[in-house]
Amino acid sequence: MSTYVPAALRRQVIERASSCCEYCRFPQTVSLLAFEIEHIISEKHGGLTSLDNPALACPYCNRAKGTDLGSIDPKTQRLTPFFNPRTQTWHDHFTLTDAVITPLTAEGRVTVLILQFNILDRLQEREQLLRAGLYPGRN
Ligand SMILES: [Zn+2]
């Protein structure tokens, strides 16, 4: 979680993510908080700090995810991994319903739930960004 990430790798991760959180797609450019380099597979579970594991995450998503790898899907009751921004495509797992990020799959459901995409504060922020044309979720 707080491992040193070399500056060059940090830059590559931010560029690859187009400066948006790879989970909730919040743009870093309009955030007052610094985004974080998150380990998709946490170091605790053997994840490496090479280019194929880190993701750019907003502080909300990163803190909510912690070292977790997944959760119990509320629909199937099965242990399900989180959405993986390295191997999966956001629009295959989520869609926007107004400002609400609606999950389309089991991975989407556990990610929306545990990373708390749709709590009130975040919904209100997303609504404002959508109105201003600054939220990239529809692309
Ligand atoms: Zn996020």
Domain ranges of the chain: 7-133
How far, in Å, is the centroid of ligand 1 from the Cα of 75? 23
User: What pLDDT, in 10s, does the model give residues 53-88?
Assistant: 999 999 999 999 999 999 999 999 999 999 999 999
In angstroms, how far is CA 100 from the centroid of its own chain? 14
- Spell out which residues have Cβ within 5 A of ligand 1, the ion: 21, 23-24, 26, 58, 61
**Residue 21 and residue 57 in contact, taking contact as beta carbons nearer than 8 Å:** yes
Question: What 3-state class would DSSP assign to 87?
Answer: coil
User: What pLDDT, in 10s, does the model give residues 92-139?
Assistant: 999 999 999 999 999 999 999 999 999 999 999 999 999 999 998 655
Query: Whole-model pTM?
Result: 0.93
How far, in Å, is the centroid of ligand 1 from the Cα of 36? 10
Q: How far is CA 97 from CA 20, 94, 101, 103, 127, in A?
A: 19, 10, 6, 10, 11
Task: Mark 115-137 as b/e (b = at least 16 C-beta within 10 Å).
Answer: bbbbeeebeebbeebeeeeebeb
